[in-house]
């Protein structure tokens, strides 16, 4: 009698931005606990020492097995280089599944590369729609949903959206949002150290701004910041402002000077310090979907 050893399912976890690191971290942790056969591929779409690697450290994640170090600014060049790099890794590793999260160019590139190699695709946070196709993210999420083999939707609403677009019900699963798991785990890690008390007793608002529609136009950016300043002064609040590199660059280009008596500029912070800021703030003003979700959970 001839027997063969059954091959363990291999999973490739593909990520490239800080929200993806955060939202995929609970899945990575479960893979570790279950001793699953997996690897992490990082495209480095958002790479910087302060705004990237600290997230792996905060969330106690293993270093990625592969780093593509792709930092192109043009969508076409970025996606093209990502597909080539991801394809090479998938050919080498031969995973059964890849997992991608959200709606970035990394997600689109990972899904396209996998689909051409007949590797099954799992899309975490599937079924979201803004119905604004001028947003690159909207195109990405629609394409990935329609080529994915498994859609992991946060709520029934997203599952219904996917179903109404003709995606078979057998591919759609309502799983909840992994950011909830990430935040709860982050809070537990915070309780072990002193960081949780860093901003305790301070009276401040937390501001984050990074979306191109808010920061790439001089008048728009100025009006947002002036409105925030006026509201803060009226309510006797200082403003903690972790500065995104894109926003910092535009402030310098547009020669916009912030009132130092109101705005307290700080370098971009890691996941744990951001949770601390969110917990301690009297008000949160943000254009970040992730910060909005974290604030609701907290």
Where do we find the tokens 């500029």? 265
DSSP class per residue in 175-200: ---HHHHHHHHHHHHHHTSSGGGTTT
pLDDT band of 10, cuts 50, 70, 90 = very high
Q: What is the pLDDT of residue 268?
A: 85
Q: Which residue has the tokens 């056969």?
A: 37
Per-residue pLDDT at 192: 81
Label residue 164 by pLDDT band (50, 70, 90): very high
Residues in contact with 274: Cβ distance below 8 Å, sequence separation at least 6, in sequence order = 242, 291, 294
What integer is the mean pLDDT of 187-208?
88
What average pLDDT does this structure show over 184-196? 85
What pLDDT is recorded for position 5?
Answer: 63
Residue with tokens 């083999």: 149
pLDDT for the residue 176: 97
- The per-residue DSSP string of 37-53 comes to EEEEEE--TT--IIIII
- 280 pLDDT more than 90: yes
Q: CATH topology for 10-189?
A: Rossmann fold (3.40.50)
Q: Is the pLDDT at 72 greater than 90, yes or no?
A: no
pLDDT of residue 45: 87
Query: pLDDT tier at 218 (50, 70, 90 boundaries)?
Result: very high
Angle in degrees, CA 270, 55, 225, rounded to 5: 35
Tell whether the model's pLDDT for residue 210 goes beyond 60.
Answer: yes
Q: Within the chain, which residue ranges are assigned CATH 3.40.50.2000?
A: 10-189, 193-297
Given a cut of 60, whether residue 232 has pLDDT beyond it is yes
From the candidate CATH numbers 3.30.365.10, 3.40.50.2000, 1.10.1040.10, 3.40.718.10, the one assigned to the domain spanning 193-297: 3.40.50.2000
Residue-averaged pLDDT of the chain: 94
Band of residue 51 on the pLDDT scale cut at 50, 70, 90: low
- pLDDT tens for residues 134-158? 888 999 999 999 999 999 999 999 9
Given 75, 146, 210, 244, which residue is catalytic?
210
pLDDT at 166 over 60: yes
Q: Is 210 a catalytic residue?
A: yes
In the prediction, which pLDDT does 49 show? Answer: 59
Strand partners, 99: 13, 122
3 — pLDDT class (breaks 50, 70, 90): low
């Amino acid at each position: 009698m001839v027997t063969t050893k059954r091959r363990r399912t291999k999973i490739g976890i593909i990520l490239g931005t800080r929200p993806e690191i955060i939202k995929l971290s609970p899945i990575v942790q479960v893979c570790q606990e279950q001793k699953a056969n997996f690897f992490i591929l990082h495209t480095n779409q958002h790479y910087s020492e302060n705004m990237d690697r600290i997230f792996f450290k905060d969330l106690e994640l293993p270093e990625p097995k592969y780093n593509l170090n792709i930092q192109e600014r043009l969508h076409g060049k970025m996606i093209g280089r990502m597909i080539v790099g991801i394809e090479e890794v998938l050919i080498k590793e031969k995973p059964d599944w890849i997992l991608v999260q959200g709606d970035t160019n990394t997600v689109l590139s990972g899904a396209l590369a996998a689909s051409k190699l007949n590797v099954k695709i799992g899309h975490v946070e599937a079924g979201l729609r803004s119905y604004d196709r001028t947003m690159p993210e909207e195109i990405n999420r629609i394409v990935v949903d329609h080529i994915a083999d498994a859609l992991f939707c946060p709520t029934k609403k997203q599952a219904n959206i996917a179903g109404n677009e003709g995606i078979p019900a057998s591919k759609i699963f309502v799983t909840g949002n992994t950011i909830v798991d990430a935040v709860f785990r982050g809070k537990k890690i915070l309780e072990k150290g002193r960081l949780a008390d860093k901003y305790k007793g301070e009276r401040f608002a937390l501001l984050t701004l990074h979306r191109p529609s808010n920061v790439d136009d001089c008048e728009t950016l100025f009006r947002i910041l002036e409105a925030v300043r006026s509201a803060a002064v009226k309510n006797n609040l200082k403003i903690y402002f972790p500065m995104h590199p894109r926003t910092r660059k535009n402030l310098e280009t547009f020669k916009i000077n912030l009132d130092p008596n109101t705005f307290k500029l700080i370098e971009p912070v890691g996941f744990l310090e951001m949770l601390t800021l969110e917990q301690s703030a009297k008000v949160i003003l943000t254009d970040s979907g992730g910060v909005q979700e974290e604030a609701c959970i907290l």
